Amino acid sequence: MSRQRVVVIGATGHIGTFLVPRLVRAGHDVITISRGTRSAYVDAPEWQQVEQVTADREQEDQDGVFGDRIVALRPDVVVDLVCFTIESATALVDALRGTDVHLVHCGSIWRAGPSVVLPVTEENAIPPVGEYGTQKDAIARMLQQETADGGVATTSLHPGHISGPGWAPIGPVGNLDPAVWRTLSAGEPLLVPGLGAETMAHVHADDVAQAFELAVEHRDAAVGEDFTVVAPTALNVRGYAALAASWFGQEARLESVTWDRFRAVTVAEYADASWEHLSRSHVFSTDKARRVLGYAPRYTAEETVLDAVRWLVEHGQVEVAGALVV
Q: Give the mean pLDDT of 145-169.
A: 98
pLDDT attached to residue 38 = 80
What is the CATH classification number for the domain harbouring 96? 3.40.50.720
- The per-residue pLDDT of the chain, averaged, comes to 97
Instruction: With respect to residue 313, please indicate whether it lies within any of the assigned structural domains.
Output: no
Instruction: With respect to residue 158, please indicate whether it lies within any of the assigned structural domains.
Output: yes
Amino acid identity of residue 304, one-letter, is T
Tell me the per-residue pLDDT of 177-194, one tens digit each, with 9 for 90 and over: 999 999 999 999 999 999
Instruction: With respect to residue 310, please indicate whether it lies within any of the assigned structural domains.
Output: no
Residue 92 φ/ψ, nearest 5 degrees: -70, -45
Q: Does residue 78 carry a pLDDT above 80?
A: yes
Instruction: With respect to residue 181, please indicate whether it lies within any of the assigned structural domains.
Output: no
Tell me the per-residue pLDDT of 197-245, one tens digit each, with 9 for 90 and over: 999 999 999 999 999 999 999 999 999 999 999 999 999 999 999 999 9
Instruction: With respect to residue 256, please indicate whether it lies within any of the assigned structural domains.
Output: no
pLDDT attached to residue 36 = 82
Instruction: With respect to residue 127, please indicate whether it lies within any of the assigned structural domains.
Output: yes
Q: Give the mean pLDDT of 82-103.
A: 97
Tell me the per-residue pLDDT of 248-305, one tens digit each, with 9 for 90 and over: 999 999 999 999 999 999 999 999 999 999 999 999 999 999 999 999 999 999 999 9
- CA dihedral angle for residue 73, residue 74, residue 75, residue 78, rounded to 10 degrees: 60
Q: Give the mean pLDDT of 11-40.
A: 94
207 vs 35, residue with greater confidence: 207
pLDDT attached to residue 51 = 96
Q: Distance between CA 65 and CA 137 in Å, rounded?
A: 25
Q: Which candidate, 175, 305, 171, 312, places its Cα nearest to that of 230?
A: 305
Instruction: With respect to residue 243, please indicate whether it lies within any of the assigned structural domains.
Output: no
Instruction: With respect to residue 194, please indicate whether it lies within any of the assigned structural domains.
Output: no
pLDDT attached to residue 96 = 98
Q: Does residue 137 carry a pLDDT above 70?
A: yes
Amino acid identity of residue 237, one-letter, is V
Residue 225 sits in which domain range? 5-163+203-229
Question: What is the 3-class SS of the chain, one letter each residue?
Answer: CCCCEEEEECCCCHHHHHHHHHHHHCCCEEEEEECCCCCCCCCCHHHHHCEEEECCHHHHHHHCCHHHHHHHCCCCEEEECCCCCHHHHHHHHHHHCCCCCEEEEECCHHHCCCCCCCCECCCCCCCCCCHHHHHHHHHHHHHHHHHHCCCCEEEEEEECEEECCCCCCCCCCCCCCCHHHHHHHCCCEEEEECCCCCEECEEEHHHHHHHHHHHHHCHHHHCCCEEEECCCCCEEHHHHHHHHHHCCCCCCEEEEECHHHHHHHCCHHHHHHHHHHHCCCCCECCHHHHHHHCCCCCCCHHHHHHHHHHHHHHCCCCCCCCCCCC
Strand pairing class (253-257; 202-204) = unpaired
35 vs 291, residue with greater confidence: 291
Label residue 1 by pLDDT band (50, 70, 90): low
Label residue 138 by pLDDT band (50, 70, 90): very high
Q: Give the mean pLDDT of 60-84.
A: 97
Q: Which candidate, 112, 113, 102, places its Cα nearest to that of 80?
A: 102
How many structural domains is the chain composed of? 1
